[in-house]
Amino acid sequence: MNTVITSKEDILKTSRELIQQQGWSAINIRSVATACGVSVGSIYNYFDSKAALVSATVESIWREIFHHPEDSAAFDDTQACVAWMYEQIEYGCKQYPGFFTLHSLSFMREDKAQGKQKMQQTWQHILDRLCAVLTRDSRIRADAFTEQFTVERFANVLFSLMLSALLRQDYDSTAVLEIVHRSLY
């Protein structure tokens, strides 16, 4: 019985470490099995293909980057949340160089509809968190949102700006914070 790797999360952790040490080309069933100290079949117990392993690894990196912070003050108001998210973007770019660009490319190589759906699922928790913060933020003007300009639309705009910053490797949240301030307060 294998006692080295006991869970899917252990395999994903090892995959993330391989990416940090050797880059994305290091991720395949055989290399992950070797790094985990298990047989190839053990990896196939959790992932039926390299694509499934890569996809799950991408999702786990997003979860690591945008995990819930120990200090929940990051979610007290919209500006604190946006500032925290930009800090996490910087962290992600340092921990996983090229991740954000490669993430987009790897999902786009798949069937376009399926790739778009996977990206949306991966990002949905971030969008949900933004919406929750926008809804709770007592500093936002009462008339800031309308039927056409909803909390969800604004969250999507903010997230799009953050994705753009990811690709540019721009960790300065000043412009986005100014947009938030002028639009909502």
CATH code, domain carrying 30:
1.10.10.60
Q: Helices 78-95 & 151-168, crossing angle to 10 degrees? A: 30
Tell me, yes or no, whether 93 lies in a domain: yes
Q: What is the pLDDT of residue 1?
A: 40
Residues 36 and 124 in one domain: no
Residues 23 and 94 in one domain: no
Q: What is the pLDDT of residue 101?
A: 67
Residues 115 and 167 in one domain: yes
Q: Which residue stretches of the chain have pLDDT < 50? A: 1-3, 108
Q: Residue 30: helix, strand or coil by DSSP?
A: helix
Residues 167 and 122 in one domain: yes
Residues 92 and 159 in one domain: yes
pLDDT in tens, 107-127: 545 555 665 676 677 778 889
Tell me, yes or no, whether 117 lies in a domain: yes
Residues 126 and 95 in one domain: yes
Residues 51 and 135 in one domain: no
Q: What is the pLDDT of residue 2?
A: 45
Tell me, yes or no, whether 111 lies in a domain: yes
Residues 37 and 106 in one domain: no
**Block residue for tokens 């120990």:** 70
The structural domain count of the chain equals 2
Q: What is the pLDDT of residue 169?
A: 80
Between CA 14 and CA 19 the distance in angstroms is 9
Tell me, yes or no, whether 2 lies in a domain: no
State the residue range of the domain holding 159. 69-184
User: Are the C-beta atoms of residues 179 and 101 closer than 8 Å to each other?
Assistant: no
Residues 109 and 79 in one domain: yes
Tell me, yes or no, whether 74 lies in a domain: yes
Tell me, yes or no, whether 64 lies in a domain: no
Instruction: Please list, in sequence order, all residues whose beta carbon lies within 8 angstroms of the beta carbon of residue 85, skipping any fewer than 6 positions away.
Output: 66, 126, 162, 173
Share of the chain above pLDDT 70, in %: 87
Residues 77 and 46 in one domain: no
- Token pair of 151 as six digits: 């909390």
Tell me, yes or no, whether 37 lies in a domain: yes
Residues 22 and 76 in one domain: no
DSSP structure class, residue 108: H
3-41 as b/e, with b when 16 or more CB fall inside 10 Å? Answer: eebeeeeebbbbbbebbeeeebeebbbebbbebbebeee
Tell me, yes or no, whether 1 lies in a domain: no
Q: What is the pLDDT of residue 118?
A: 66
Residue 176 exposure: Cα atoms within 13 Å on the Cβ side = 25
